Structure 1
Amino acid sequence: MGSVGSQRLKESSVAGTPDRTVVTSFGFEGLQLEARAAAAEAAREQSLRARGILTSMDSEEEPVPDDRYHAIYFAMLLAGVGFLLPYNSFITDVDYLHHKYPGTSIVFDMSLTYILVALAAVLLNNVLVERLNLHTRITTGYLLALGPLLFISVCDVWLQLFAHDQAYAINLAAVGTVAFGCTVQQSSFYGYTGMLPKRYTQGVMTGESTAGVMISLSRILTKLLLPDERASTLIFFLVSVGLELLCFLLHLLVRRSRFVLYYTTRPRDSRGCQAGYRVHHDVAAGDIHFEHQAPAVAHSDSLDSPAHEVGCCPLTLSTPPALLLHRYVVARVIWADMLSIAVTYFITLCLFPGLESEIRHCVLGEWLPILVMAVFNLSDFVGKILAALPVDWRGTHLLACSCLRVVFIPLFILCVYPSGTPALRHPAWPCIFSLLMGISNGYFGSVPMILAAGKVSPKQRELAGNTMTVSYMSGLTLGSAVAYCTYSLTQDAHSSCLRTANGSISAGP
């Protein structure tokens, strides 16, 4: 009888297991483990309440916090500004660079350095997403962006401590450092905002376009108000440092706000922890969960990263096969969005800024590429705002629309080829094409990033954001590589205007 009763007790313990394929306790040992787990859970909830952080049960009872005065949205928009502001600061003062480094390809070298380092940085950040604290990565990115800006402002522009060749190399090194910091910051922020409502991801991407507009206006104003080129450039860089510092301070304030904590703590508190490892792979839903079920009281550091459970060990197993499996399942769900954003930025980088900056007109001269690029920046900003419209896109339809943008490549080529007498020589053509390309780039470059976060579970949104950034950077890199092929089409564009002018002079009386 005793053995039969013991056997029934064991069977009932197994039947009560959440997953019959995973046995976590037997007999009276199971009762003891459950008691310990319950005590640990109570201690964990008490610790969270002491820190003012809601558990999942509390969050269901409490109303959703409001974004009063849209302050969180504004902070996320400035976060997007902070991604691209340092790099735009280096390449927007093109007049100063051409004056200081005449006859060199300084702007092209900066662009190439930025893209290569940024690709390496986003791959590294994607590897370390489960190992390093989210806010540690963001803070490090801000510091790596602020440091080079301040260093170049003081030591190179103001004090001019370096020789010509040294300054050239130091500027490239500064751009590389900025690229690493800003890309880690950008990739982490997309995972961060992926846990918030969709409009905040759109706000971040709108901020990226805002950075170009703000820096362009800053350069125009400093150049108009200060005739001295060195002084205007110094003030220009210091304004950029101030804006970047403002973005950093707002991040430090917002990360502890009740609104952000409500959304970033829910994914971690959604299920309790028991003893042992459990791996759930739902192929139909494209979802995967890695849970460590050893009860533990939460530590303060675990609250800072959505890649970590509160009261649990890291969400994903630390073994490489498990990490690869996690990424595979996430990519399997958002593959169409990954391809959409990669194709969008690939087509854009094939033409901008390379080919667009080489478009010439014998009357407008250098003003035409400036106008064309300005039209692109403004229309890209409009496109990112339009991405906030509630349109229910299917992934395949989004990918098809992104691929249709390939028509811009032959259209822009016709604006520069044949060299000297292009088929579409009127300056209105490149402006119209740039307007359409900018709007479509802003829209189809933002919508996939916004939708991808909603297709995975809350726990996987940071990883989904990082995965989308890998696709984004891959498109940028491939587009920049293909852009080399377009330079040969514009080699004689400027000289043809000179030949035409000389021919008109010689033909005159």
Structure 2
Amino acid sequence: MDENLSRGYVQLSKQRASVSSIGGQSSESGQSPSGLNVPHDTCSCIYLGLILAGAGFLLPYNSFIIAVDYYQDRFPDTTIVFDMSLTYICVAFVSVCINNVLVELLSLHTRITVGYVISFLTLLSVALFDVWFELLTRDSAYRVTLVAVGTVALGCTVQQSSFYGYTSMLPMRYTQAVMTGESAAGLLVSANRIVTKALLNDEKVNTMIFFCISVVTVFACFVIFNLIRRTEFARFYENICRTAGKPDDKVGFSNQTVMQEEVEIVDHTTNQGNYGVLVIEHDDQPRHAVSSSSSRHSIADDVRIKSEPWTVRRPTTIWAAIKHGVVLRKRASRTTWPYMMSIAFAYFVTLCLFPGIESEILSCRLGSWMPVVLMAIFNASDFIGKIIASLPYDWPPRRLLACSILRVLLIPLMMMCATPRLGPILNGEGWAMLISLILGVTNGYFGSVPMILASTKVPDEQKELTGNMMTLTYSIGLTTGSVMAYGLDDWLGPRLPHDPCLVNNATLVDLLNGTISSSSFG
């Protein structure tokens, strides 16, 4: 969306809110208060489709992380899960910054399509050349795995940021649908891994099938998204936002610089105003005005006018686009900063613990199933949390920020499930599962609500921009949390043997004291 025409924005806030509040169905007749024919989302097909389409941009990353048992077996005595997480997050952070430039240069649909293509090709290459044919040595495979994760991060993050920009143009519940799709991605991948691991004992075969299912799912998500964006419903709301800042060709904009009059038309039934643009020609006679259908009063009675010159310019260079983008982001952040900080804190806490610390919690009863089960619990509860986030509640910004910060208490609780490694303070699988469940539910809720509410606090021409900014702060939280996870892992002390349950306690004590190395156990 071209944010550069923001000064020609026509804000009919009350009318659009009444349409958006029920997903585009403002009345039984299917008409908005302004008389527009509003398409219906029949049977919530668009909503469900965006859940599935949104799953596509986090599914590739989850495919690497959820296969934790495979990677821990292939690269024992390494920080492979931490390294994959940090690689993804760091590349994602750079990608978000790049996307905030590309938003001025490339179309939204192009960015989303490129993300899907990169994810599809990367997953397919890993499944064939690394998992099945095993063409690489252990050291080379380690590096290639991290490169693959970084490549996926590049495509998926540009795609993710663009997705939020896209759904910000739709009614509010559709942003929540995409965020639910993020959790659905983790849930689908966890279910995929549990089924393939349970049905097939051959780790190479079940991992190959696992990745192939992920490849097919990404392709299906791509197809669904392209079907959605061609629907009348999606085109209707997209056109509203894309034309919100553009002059009407029918009103005689013959010069690049014209005079703009901002008018407020008061609805005496509610004592609230709707804003439009009154264009004044050189003879100072009005030729066009945007009026409220609910108003029955003449403009002369209800108008307060403020005049200012309006120059329509579009950045022609990257530097001009960056400079213009900074100005727009500073303007939008004055309203959305509590939501930006809330989502950053929410994901900072989550990435401190998931997936790295969770993968380090041991269980002699569950063995290699323990990290898989914990991640499945997290993804399922995260999915539930995002569904709860769809319940309408307008959080006060500062209270929302305070609740996101309170999640920091989960860090010491989860650490007590992992340290000391020989006998954790909170011993037993139940504690870790419970805390993982709480972590997931709160992540789903407090990671979604700020993103949903932020787009409602800005005018239409800033919605896509706000979605990109929220994704930027989201990435900052992910990055700092991933770095912090290394410090928490160091706090846990030396790693135990690949299967510590088969080693006697005396040997484990020697290992922790540094007398012997864990590499001695293969």
How does the TM-score come out when normalised to structure 2? 0.74
- Does 2:247 correspond to 1:272? yes
Match of 1:15 in 2: none
Match of 1:342 in 2: 344
Q: Answer 1 or 2: which has greater helix percent.
A: 1
Match of 1:118 in 2: 92
**CA displacement at 1:257 relative to structure 2:** 0.9
In the alignment, residue 341 of structure 1 is paired with which amino acid? Answer: I
CA distance in 1, matches of 2:395, 2:196: 43
Match of 1:329 in 2: 331
**Residues 427 and 218 from structure 1, CA distance in 2 versus in 1: closer, same or farther, beyond 3 angstroms?**
closer
Deviations 1:243-296 (A, max 9, x none): 10011111111112100011010123235253335899x9xxxxxx9xxx9xxx
CA distance in 2, matches of 1:336, 1:101: 41
Match of 2:431 in 1: 429
**CA displacement at 1:493 relative to structure 2:** 7.6
Match of 2:38 in 1: 64
Match of 2:144 in 1: 170
In the alignment, residue 204 of structure 1 is paired with which amino acid? Answer: V
Name the SS of the counterpart of 1:61 in structure 2.
Answer: coil
RMSD: 3.0
**CA displacement at 1:425 relative to structure 2:** 2.5
In the alignment, residue 141 of structure 2 is paired with which amino acid? Answer: A
Contact kept in structure 2, 1:316 and 1:323, CA below 8 Å: no
Match of 2:361 in 1: 359
In the alignment, residue 58 of structure 2 is paired with which amino acid? Answer: L
Contact kept in structure 1, 2:194 and 2:372, CA below 8 Å: no
Contact kept in structure 2, 1:384 and 1:442, CA below 8 Å: yes
Match of 1:204 in 2: 178
CA distance in 1, matches of 2:170, 2:335: 19
- Does 2:169 correspond to 1:195? yes
CA distance in 1, matches of 2:328, 2:492: 46
Match of 1:443 in 2: 445
**CA displacement at 1:473 relative to structure 2:** 0.5
**Residues 380 and 109 from structure 1, CA distance in 2 versus in 1: closer, same or farther, beyond 3 angstroms?**
same
CA distance in 1, matches of 2:38, 2:256: 34
**CA displacement at 1:406 relative to structure 2:** 1.3
Counterpart among 112, 115, 122 of residue 138 in structure 1: 112
Percent identical among aligned pairs is 50
CA distance in 2, matches of 1:100, 1:364: 19
CA distance in 2, matches of 1:369, 1:237: 18
Match of 2:219 in 1: 245
Match of 1:376 in 2: 378
Match of 1:48 in 2: none
Match of 1:25 in 2: none
Structure 1 stretch displaced more, 462-471 or 143-152:
143-152
Name the SS of the counterpart of 1:130 in structure 2.
Answer: coil
CA distance in 2, matches of 1:63, 1:364: 57
How does the TM-score come out when normalised to structure 1? 0.76
CA distance in 2, matches of 1:500, 1:160: 36
CA distance in 2, matches of 1:95, 1:424: 23
**CA displacement at 1:343 relative to structure 2:** 0.5
Name the SS of the counterpart of 1:83 in structure 2.
Answer: coil
Contact kept in structure 2, 1:420 and 1:492, CA below 8 Å: no
Counterpart among 400, 403, 409 of residue 401 in structure 1: 403
CA distance in 2, matches of 1:211, 1:476: 17
Contact kept in structure 1, 2:65 and 2:355, CA below 8 Å: no
Contact kept in structure 1, 2:88 and 2:149, CA below 8 Å: yes
Match of 1:306 in 2: none
Match of 1:3 in 2: none
**CA displacement at 1:90 relative to structure 2:** 2.1
CA distance in 2, matches of 1:84, 1:218: 15
**Residues 204 and 263 from structure 1, CA distance in 2 versus in 1: closer, same or farther, beyond 3 angstroms?**
same
Q: How many residues align?
A: 421
Match of 2:203 in 1: 229
Contact kept in structure 2, 1:79 and 1:251, CA below 8 Å: yes
**Residues 95 and 355 from structure 1, CA distance in 2 versus in 1: closer, same or farther, beyond 3 angstroms?**
closer
Structure 1 gaps, min length 5: 1-21, 23-56, 283-288, 294-311, 504-509
